[in-house]
Amino acid sequence: MNLTKYFNFKYLKENFKKSRGILLLITIIVPLLTLFSILFVNKPASYTKILELIEISWVNMFGMYIIPIAISFILFGYVYKKTSVDFINSMPINRKTIFITNTIGGILLITLIQILTAVTLLLSSIFIKEVMIFTGMIIDVFIIMWIAYLFMFFTANLAMTLSGTFLTQIALTMIILFIIPFCLTTFNLLRNQNVIINETYAEDDSTSIEKDNNITIMETIDNKEYTLPFDIIWNTNLSFSNTRNAKMLILGILYFCLGLYLFQKRKMENAEESFSKVKVHLFVKALTVFPLLVLVNLASESPNKFLILLIIIYYFVYDYIVRRKVKLKYSVLGLIITLAVSQGIIIGIKNYYPTNTTYRNSIEIAREEVEEVSLNFDDNSYYLREQPENDYYMKNKELIDLIFDASKKSYEFSQKVKSMDVIDGVNSMTLFYGNFKCKDGRIVRFYAEILKEDEEKFLDILAQDENFMKSIRNKYMEKSVVTFDNHVMLDIGEELELKGKNAINNMTLKEYYTLYNKESLNGYYPLYFNYYKDHNLVSLYVPINISSEVLKTIADNENEFINQNFYVGDNSKGNRFVINYGIMAGPLGYDRNNAEFSNFSGNFSYTSDLIEEFINENKNEKIDPNQKCYAIQLTGINSDYNNQRIFFTNKTEEIDAIIRKEMSFYQSINYYDKDYDQEMNYYVE
Amino acid sequence: MIKITNLNKSFGSKKVLENLNCSIKTNSIYGFVGANGAGKSTLLRIINDVFKADSGTVEIDEKNIENNQELKQKLVFIPDDLYFFPNYTLKDMAEFYNSMYKDFDMEYLKKLAETLKLDMNSKIQNFSKGMKRQCALICAICTNADYMFFDETFDGIDPVVRGLLKKIIAKQMEKKDTTIIMTSHNLRELEDICDNLALIYKGGVLFESEVSTLKTNVFKVQISLKDNFDKDTFKDLEVMNFKKIGSVATIIIKGDKEKEVEKLQALNPIILDVLPVTLEEMFVYEMEVLGYEFNQVF
């Protein structure tokens, strides 16, 4: 078999050689900018940060829209110039060989770019001690981006076979990529919520308990998995999806075959003109304008005239750039038709699905229908981090009743209280989720919230269920969690991380296993085990009462880096004693989500001057490990301390006094008197 | 041999080639002449598989050219608008040709570059128009292809270098039985080099002939007779054109020169001068015979 019929290395070499400068730039720009993004954007100043998928791949993601198209242009750009068409196509190499050779060249380049990026990430993880990148995540980024770049490249090549200018190629590439997902997603959005460009629509399920005995569960909006590595088309949330990857690969192969066929049939005389026929040119231009018109129309009740004008200007400028020979009357006629069609579609959709109407289906589950329930606790962490699902089902009528009653109560509470500050700061609700197994065999997922005041009862029921406790233990003791990555982090308001400490990892889990009890469910000392599993960064939240022995081990294993940067002045040595004695209880400011282990949750909003003055006066205080100690998280109080973050002090009474003042300011606002009174008593006693 | 049968090509609604038929023998220099837009360049592009014909066939050595990589090794094409890779030197371009053509002769290229005083290491984009064309021509010649297609061959080249290049082309033909196909809108440019000439008009070959036949068979005389005379006086001759000013007539005659002159002398002319005819004049008169005005064609 004569392979030179399909692949001509000499031609590829010369093709690379003629553009070697730009190709070199294209090859190194993504790895280089990825490194810069880690060094100058993602690298924290004073602690080790676990980088998320998007943090290590946003440069790569933006590159995805530019680099494959640029490679396609470099390799195939000759088709856009009549002189180069004459030159290349008269050479003793046929079109099939040119297409296959250039495609292989592009694949090699993209592979090289992704290998270099992966190596950059790997080396960054090894040599930049402030960041940690899971190897699994690097492999995932490689796979996601490699496939996405190839898909973009194949799409751009397909667009090239039909285009006579580079700008037409870009327009056509975008149309091939986005027009179908755009139309379907827009339609889906209109059908479901009539809200455009509002990411909050993506909330999975919502549960409302407006009746006594029923829970209404809204069906999840079906986010179709299109191509490119995003959940929805205009979202930038990268995620790994086998479905999308498979779609991109299959479509990529299809586009390659189609491109190969069309390239052989391509009318080379169309170089320097968008398309051979004006009608096709006008149609493609209309397709580029259509999404813009729809978005502008749907974004608000009265379309922005300025934006419409800009679109019309674009409509005519497009002609000037890609095809100057279009007669004005054709262009104007095309515009009128485009406007009429898009407006007709929009009016039709708007009338058929009136604004502010939700068309999501809902399932109503009656209390009597529920036979068993499984539960998971939400750790309020970033949504990408997920806990392993607990599939232990409890056939407990008391628990089911409590879920219905407490959910209804929290729903009514949330309707009554307007300010989220009050809910967060005073009577926060615990979010949990799980599955109802109904008598008819259906399994329905639900999310619900209960108020703090009901939580105790809830935990009592759960703690009495030995099997449930065991299921939770087993969940955390999952072998893969422990062995997958030697990374453990004790959360004390901010992430304090320890790398490569097997001893601690095993010890804390062992400890946890022994000590797990009711309090642990509502534990003040959460441990986060971070690992990368099933293409997700998981931050496993383990609520635990850690013994002094564990804390001492952690403290002894702290690295110098953390010690040097974490505390203010002489406080650095005090920390170890504080941890040793496990007296972390104290005012931790700002981070409301960590209410479960901080007694005072909220800012020193009204007393910031006082707390700042206190810290300045006491920054050289020697900490006595035998005395009660408060830890204050310094966030936004004084920029000088932003990098140091935790301030320790034995002068707890002075801090209590400041807290009292802060509370009295809250009281004076008189938002929710009763709860503030309770809160005050609770803290100041 | 190149055989073109019923070739048609349109650009949109505009017909560029219409039922074009033509045969080009090997080891000859074949010239296509015609006005701008007559379809010469399009024809060369189709022969070289740059453009696809709408219908009709192009056979080279009895093989179809379309997507025939091996056959394309035998062809080299220098278009009217030249293209060189950006920032490439003559050496770089030669290397490109070398990588594409199996029989490329790099040593010969160096020799030709030296002869034409072309710096191998200077960027071609900095060369003059004529020098660029010289670069393209010598690269093409050094491919040792069997069929060489030169569109507007000597455009921008000064007469001295033009003569030199013609010698180089002739030498190449001796060396390797090469067939050269040239186009020009200027007849004079081709008359001293082409063996055959074809006139392309409105997408078809209007007229085709061997130059030697044209030159030996057509001649011009200026004649004056004692008695009054008109075109009918010469009815025994194949008169292509007759013009009489005063008592002197200028006649273009087709046929064997010696025999025809003998016939004229038999008329006892007062003046009889046999004058050379340029190729352009021959075309004018041939066109007139075919019923075309030369101004329409060019």
CB pair distance less than 8 Å for B76 and A90:
yes
Q: Is the CA virtual torsion B3, B9, B15, B19 positive or negative?
A: positive
pLDDT at B152 > cutoff 60: yes
For position A558, what pLDDT does the model report? 44
User: What is the maximum alpha-carbon separation in chain B?
Assistant: 73
Which band of pLDDT confidence, cut at 50, 70 and 90, is reported for residue A189? Answer: low
For position A593, what pLDDT does the model report? 34
A-B Cβ pairs (cutoff 8 Å, strict): 74
CATH code at position B181: 3.40.50.300
Chain B residues touching residue A91 (CB < 8 angstroms):
72, 100
DSSP symbols for A29-72: HHHHHHHHHIIIII--SSS-EEPPHHHHHHHHHHHHHHHHHHHH
For position A159, what pLDDT does the model report? 93
Do B146 and B291 sit in the same domain of this protein?
no
For position B284, what pLDDT does the model report? 73
Strands B29-33 and B179-184: parallel
Range of the structural domain that residue B163 is part of:
2-202
Cα distances (Å, whole numbers) of residue A530 to A526, A549, B242: 12, 22, 104
Burial level of A302, CB count in 10 A (0-12/13-18/19+)? exposed
Domain range annotation of chain A = 1-196+234-271, 362-476, 477-549, 558-685
Across chain B, mean pLDDT equals 86
pLDDT at A643 > cutoff 50: no
Q: Greater confidence, A446 or A248?
A: A248
- pLDDT per residue as tens digits for the range A536-571: 776 555 554 444 455 445 445 443 333 333 333 334
Which band of pLDDT confidence, cut at 50, 70 and 90, is reported for residue A637? Answer: very low
Selecting from A14, A89, A277 the residue whose C-beta is nearest the C-beta of B49 gives A89
Do B191 and B226 sit in the same domain of this protein?
no
Residue at B209 is within a domain: no
Quick check: helix, strand or coil at residue B291? Answer: coil
Chain B residues touching residue A267 (CB < 8 angstroms):
51-52
Gap between the Cα atoms of B53 and B34, Å rounded: 20
Do B142 and B78 sit in the same domain of this protein?
yes
Do B279 and B154 sit in the same domain of this protein?
no
* Listed range (A158-167, B161-170, B180-189) with the worst mean pLDDT: B180-189
Gap between the Cα atoms of A685 and B2, Å rounded: 106
Q: Is the CA virtual torsion B107, B113, B118, B124 positive or negative?
A: negative
For position A529, what pLDDT does the model report? 57
Place of tokens 């110039």: A81
CB pair distance less than 8 Å for A93 and B75:
no
Nearest to A281, CA basis, from A125, A417, A168, A140: A168
- % chain A with pLDDT above 90: 19
Selecting from B11, B79, B82 the residue whose C-beta is nearest the C-beta of A269 gives B11
Strands B204-210 and B248-254: unpaired
Chain A residues touching residue B68 (CB < 8 angstroms):
94
pLDDT at A508 > cutoff 70: no
Which band of pLDDT confidence, cut at 50, 70 and 90, is reported for residue A587? Answer: very low
- Amino acid letter at B231? K
For position A640, what pLDDT does the model report? 39
Do B113 and B233 sit in the same domain of this protein?
no
Do B271 and B164 sit in the same domain of this protein?
no
pLDDT at A84 > cutoff 80: yes
- Check: complex ipTM more than 0.90: no
Residue at B55 is within a domain: yes
For the segment A424-431, the average pLDDT, to the nearest whole number, is 52
Contact A393, A374 (CB under 8 A): yes
Residue at B210 is within a domain: no
Backbone φ and ψ for A444, nearest 5 degrees, come out as -120, 130
For position A167, what pLDDT does the model report? 87
**What is chain A's alpha carbon radius of gyration, rounded to the nearest angstrom?**
30
Do B93 and B138 sit in the same domain of this protein?
yes
pLDDT at A574 > cutoff 90: no
Q: Is the CA virtual torsion A164, A168, A169, A173 positive or negative?
A: negative
Place of tokens 């080299």: B76
Chain A residues touching residue B152 (CB < 8 angstroms):
none
- Amino acid letter at A409? K
Gap between the Cα atoms of A559 and A561, Å rounded: 5
- pLDDT per residue as tens digits for the range A521-537: 443 444 555 667 677 77
* Listed range (A116-120, A434-438, A672-676) with the worst mean pLDDT: A672-676
Quick check: helix, strand or coil at residue A555? Answer: helix
- Amino acid letter at A202? A
CB pair distance less than 8 Å for B79 and A13:
no
Do B195 and B235 sit in the same domain of this protein?
no
Q: Which of B141, B172, B202 is the last residue of a domain?
A: B202
CB pair distance less than 8 Å for A92 and B75:
yes
Reduced DSSP (H G I as helix, E B as strand, rest coil) percent helix, strand, coil of chain A, to 5: 60, 15, 25
A304 Cα to chain B: minimum distance (Å): 40
Q: Greater confidence, A577 or A64?
A: A64
Q: Which of B157, B176, B202 is the last residue of a domain?
A: B202
Burial level of A596, CB count in 10 A (0-12/13-18/19+)? middle
Do B70 and B105 sit in the same domain of this protein?
yes
CATH code at position B250: 3.30.70
CB pair distance less than 8 Å for A86 and B81:
yes
- pLDDT per residue as tens digits for the range B210-266: 877 777 778 889 898 888 888 888 888 888 888 888 889 988 888 888 888 888 888
Residue at B211 is within a domain: no
Do B47 and B94 sit in the same domain of this protein?
yes
Q: Which of B168, B202, B236 is the last residue of a domain?
A: B202
Q: Which residue of B has its CA nearest to A77?
A: B85
Q: Greater confidence, A26 or B208?
A: A26
B135 in contact with A at a CB cutoff of 8 Å? no
pLDDT at A166 > cutoff 70: yes
pLDDT at A11 > cutoff 50: yes
CB pair distance less than 8 Å for A90 and B96:
no
A276 in contact with B at a CB cutoff of 8 Å? yes
- pLDDT per residue as tens digits for the range A106-116: 999 999 999 99
Residue at B207 is within a domain: no
Which band of pLDDT confidence, cut at 50, 70 and 90, is reported for residue A177? Answer: confident
Element spanning A526, H or E: strand A525-533
State how far Cα A384 lies from the chain centre. Answer: 6
Selecting from A10, A89, A94 the residue whose C-beta is nearest the C-beta of B99 gives A10
Residue at B212 is within a domain: no
- pLDDT per residue as tens digits for the range A308-321: 788 888 888 887 77
Q: Which residue of B has its CA nearest to A96?
A: B67
Backbone φ and ψ for B11, nearest 5 degrees, come out as -110, 100
Which band of pLDDT confidence, cut at 50, 70 and 90, is reported for residue A676? Answer: very low
- pLDDT per residue as tens digits for the range A596-624: 333 444 556 667 677 777 777 776 666 65
Residue at B208 is within a domain: no
Across chain A, mean pLDDT equals 69
User: What is the maximum alpha-carbon separation in chain A?
Assistant: 91
**What residues have CB less than 8 Å from A261, skipping those under 6 apart?**
none
Joined together, the tokens standing for residue B125 give 């984009």
- pLDDT per residue as tens digits for the range A98-139: 999 999 999 999 999 999 999 999 999 888 877 878 888 899
Do B118 and B198 sit in the same domain of this protein?
yes
Long-range CB contacts for residues B18-22, cutoff 8 Å, separation at least 24: B18/B202, B18/B203, B18/B204, B19/B56, B19/B204, B20/B56, B20/B200, B20/B203, B20/B204, B20/B205, B21/B204, B21/B205, B22/B198, B22/B205, B22/B208
Burial level of A205, CB count in 10 A (0-12/13-18/19+)? middle
Q: Greater confidence, B65 or A31?
A: A31
Selecting from B11, B50, B75 the residue whose C-beta is nearest the C-beta of A86 gives B50
**What are the DSSP E strand ranges found in chain B?**
2-11, 14-24, 29-33, 55-60, 63-64, 75-78, 147-151, 179-184, 196-201, 204-210, 218-224, 238-245, 248-254, 271-275
Gap between the Cα atoms of B209 and B217, Å rounded: 11
For position A622, what pLDDT does the model report? 65
Which band of pLDDT confidence, cut at 50, 70 and 90, is reported for residue A369? Answer: confident
Q: Which residue of B has its CA nearest to A84?
A: B83
Neighbours of A518 (CB within 10 A): 14
Find the distance separating the first CA and the last CA of chain A, reported in whole Å.
88
Q: Greater confidence, A324 or A381?
A: A324
Q: Greater confidence, B53 or A224?
A: B53
Contact A524, A537 (CB under 8 A): no
For the segment A232-244, the average pLDDT, to the nearest whole number, is 70
Q: Which residue of A has its CA nearest to B79?
A: A86
Q: In B116-231, where does DSSP find H-type helix? A: 129-141, 159-176, 187-191, 211-217
pTM of the model: 0.71
For position A132, what pLDDT does the model report? 79
Chain A residues touching residue B82 (CB < 8 angstroms):
83
For the segment A383-408, the average pLDDT, to the nearest whole number, is 71
Strands A429-438 and A646-649: unpaired
For position A444, what pLDDT does the model report? 77
CB pair distance less than 8 Å for A86 and B12:
no
B82 in contact with A at a CB cutoff of 8 Å? yes
CB pair distance less than 8 Å for A93 and B73:
no
Do B250 and B156 sit in the same domain of this protein?
no
* Total of domains in chain B: 2
B73 Cα to chain A: minimum distance (Å): 5
Contact A331, A282 (CB under 8 A): yes
